[in-house]
Amino acid sequence: MSTIHDTDVKAILPFEDLDRASIPIAGGKAANLGESIRAGLPVPAGFCVTTAAYELVSSGADLAPSLIALAETPPDDTARLAEIAAQIRADLLAAPIPDALARSITAAYLELGDGATVPVAVRSSATAEDLPFASFAGQQDTYLNIVGAEAVLDAVRNCWASLWTDRAVRYRATNGIDPRSVRLAVAVQRMVAAEVAGVLFTANPLTGRRHQAVIDASLGLGEAVVSGMVNPDHFVVNTATGEIVERRLGDKRVAIRATEGNGTQRVEMDGNKNEACLSDEQVRALAKLGARVEAHYEAPQDTEPDIGTHDSPVAAEGILSGTPASGGVVSARARVILDPGGAHLEPGEILVAPSTDPGWTPLFLTAGGLVMEMGGPMSHGAIVAREYGIPAVVGVPDAIERITTGQRITVDGSAGTISTGPQSDS
C-alpha cells in the first residue's frame, strides 16, 4: 500500500502488518484486528490510518494550548471540559488533510476493491482504548457503509474529531488520562453486509463463569445490538460440551441496514419472538470461534461477529460446517474449481471443490487447505489432505455457492468449520 511518513511511522498500514504491540501507532481496535488476522481468525480486509496521520493533521491545527487547558481542568468541571472539547473539534475539522496523505488513504481504500469503490466501515481506534482498566466502549465514532474515496476521507476526519467529544473527554478525565498523551488511529475495513450480527462473550459476563459463551444476536448490522436499541436473541453455550444451556428469544423489532448510498438506516421490523435468528449449528460454531479467540489471547474476550444465513450466502463471516477430515487451521484466499483439467491453484490457496478423485491430486501439491461439498473422512480428498498435512473439511453443503474465488476464508479441519470473509469483487 502507498505510504507517507511522519518521523519513522507509516501513516497507512494494512491490518496484516499490525499486532497487539501496535497500539501506540494503531490504537486498540486496529491493533487487535491485526492480531486476529495473524492468529488466522476471520477478519475482513482493511487498513489503518495510523497515529502518524493524526499527528500530522493535528500539528497543523495548533491544539497545544487547548490540550494544556484541558489537562489543567478538574474532572468535575464538565462545562469547561465541554467548552475546550468543542474548540478542539472545530480546529481539527477545519485543518486540511495534506495532499500526499489524502492520496495515500485513497489508494489504500481503492486497493480494498481492486480499484472499485466498495462499502467500508470507518472505525475510530484510540491509543487509550480496549485497555485492561478501561474499555472506552463507544467513546469515539464509527461510520458504517461508507462508499467512495471522498466519503472515506470525510469519515476519517470525523473520527479524528470524535477523539474530543464531550463524553470522551469526560471519560478520560475521570480515569486520570492526560489528554496530551492520547492519539487516534482509524481502521478502514471492508463492510460486512450481514443478515445477522451481535456480540459474543467468551466468558459469561454476568456470572464470570469460564467455559460459558454468551451470544446476543439480532437481524441486520451489529450496531442495533451494541447500542441497545433492540431486544436481541440471547444464547448461553457450554463451550466444553456444545450444549446450549440457555436460550431467550427477543422480539427483534429494530434492524440497522445499509442504505443504497452512504450510511445506514433504522428499519422497524414486525418482530418475531418465536423464531431465533441463529440456528443451533451457528450458535455452536460461534462458541467454537470464540474459544479460539480466547485461547489465542489467553484471556476472556468479547467480539462482534457478523453471521451469514443459508438464505443470504453472500453475507460475510458466515460460518459453514461439515465433517472434520484433516486437522489444523488455515486462513487464505479460496479458489473454487469444478474441473481439475487445466485448473491452476496458487501456492497456499484453499481448494474448494464438489468432490475429488485421483485426477485432482496434482492440485494438492500447492493447496493450503481443502473444502469439499461431498465426501466423508475416508473419501479421496480427505485421505490425500491428511497425507499432505493440509486442513480439510468435507461434506459441506452449498460450499461452492457460498464461497467465491478470491474470498478469504478460514478452514478449521479439527472443528469441521469454515469461516468466510467478504466475497471478492473479482
Beta bridge partners of residue 215, listed in sequence order? 200, 235
Element (H, E) at 213: strand 212-219
Classify each residue of 351-363 as buried b or exposed e, where b means 16 or more C-beta atoms within 10 Å of its C-beta.
bbbeebeeebeeb
**How many Cβ atoms from other residues are within 10 Å of residue 99's Cβ?**
9
- The residues that are catalytic are 380
What is the structure's pLDDT at 133?
Answer: 42
CATH topology of domain 5-190: Dna Ligase; domain 1 (3.30.1490)
What is the structure's pLDDT at 114?
Answer: 85
What is the structure's pLDDT at 136?
Answer: 52
Domain boundaries, the chain: 5-190, 196-307, 319-420
Contacts of 393 (CB under 8 A, 6+ apart): 320, 321, 322, 323, 324, 325, 370, 371, 372, 411, 412, 413, 416, 417, 418
**Length of the chain, please?**
426
E strands, 312-368, are 319-321, 323-326, 329-336, 350-353
Q: How far apart are CA 35 and CA 23, in angstroms?
A: 11
Contacts of 342 (CB under 8 A, 6+ apart): none
Task: State the 10-residue block means of pLDDT for the chain, 426 residues long.
Answer: 48 95 93 90 91 95 95 94 96 95 96 90 80 53 93 97 89 86 93 83 85 91 81 92 92 87 87 83 90 89 70 43 87 92 92 89 92 83 90 88 87 85 46
Q: How far apart are CA 26 and CA 7, in angstroms?
A: 15
Which amino acid type is present at position 179? Answer: P
State the cell numbers at 249.
428469544
Beta bridge partners of residue 239, listed in sequence order? none
Residue carrying the nine cell digits 494550548: 65
**How many Cβ atoms from other residues are within 10 Å of residue 133's Cβ?**
6
Diameter of the chain by CA atoms?
75
> How much is the pTM?
0.70
Q: How far apart are CA 216 and CA 197, in angstroms?
A: 8
β-strands 120-126, 184-190 pairing: antiparallel
What is the structure's pLDDT at 318?
Answer: 57
Residue 181 is classified by DSSP as: G
State the cell numbers at 262.
452512504
Three-state secondary-structure class, residue 388: helix
* CATH architecture, range 196-307: 2-Layer Sandwich (3.30)
Closest by Cα among 201, 305, 193 to 259: 193
Q: Is 319-420 assigned to CATH 2.30.30.100?
A: no
What is the structure's pLDDT at 276?
Answer: 92
Beta bridge partners of residue 306, listed in sequence order? 197
Judge whether 245 and 236 are in contact, CB under 8 Å.
Answer: yes
| Residue 298 burial class via C-beta count within 10 angstroms: exposed 0-12, middle 13-18, buried 19 and up | exposed
